[in-house]
Amino acid sequence: AVREKIIRICDSFLGERFDLPYGGVQDKINEINSKINDTRNIMATTNEELRKYLVSINRVENTDASALIIYKWFVIREKALYENLNKLKMGDSLLVGLFWCPVSQTRSILDEVQKIKENRNISGPQMWRR
């Protein structure tokens, strides 16, 4: 009924007609669903293999420590170090900058500065109180 009316309209405008198989759409849907399922399976397998690999490289010999956590701490520390070094100003032969420390920590910082001077045989960093 509807198909015949559409055919008559196309014929009246001299339109071309193409025969489409009735089950073609469903076959295409099934094919696409199959590809989606295959892709999901590949993704699940990839995620599982990646997890296994990360677990295998995460072990540090003779410890319970996580290698990835150790690397993460290292990167965080290095990032903080370079961010703070970038805040310093370059003098003739030294970097100049200000820092804040609690009064209770002043003695231990001065001791560390003295150790640097002695161990490296350099004039070393200097601290002034403002």
Q: What is the pLDDT of residues 20-73, one digit of tens each?
A: 666 677 888 899 999 999 999 999 999 999 999 988 888 777 877 888 888 999
Spatial neighbors of 106 by CB under 8 A, at least 6 apart, are 129
SS3 label, residue 120: helix
CB-CB contact of 97 with 89 (8 Å): yes
- Residue 68 has a CB neighbour count (10 Å cut-off) of 13
Of 65, 104, 97, 94, nearest to 81 (Cα)? 97
Residue position matching structure tokens 């990167």 = 75
CB-CB contact of 97 with 87 (8 Å): yes
| DSSP classification of residue 66 | B
CB-CB contact of 68 with 59 (8 Å): no
> Measuring CA to CA, how many Å separate 35 from each of 23, 31, 49, 109?
19, 6, 21, 64
Instruction: Return the pLDDT at 120.
Output: 76
Q: What is the pLDDT of residues 98-129, one digit of tens each?
A: 888 888 988 898 898 888 888 877 776 677 77
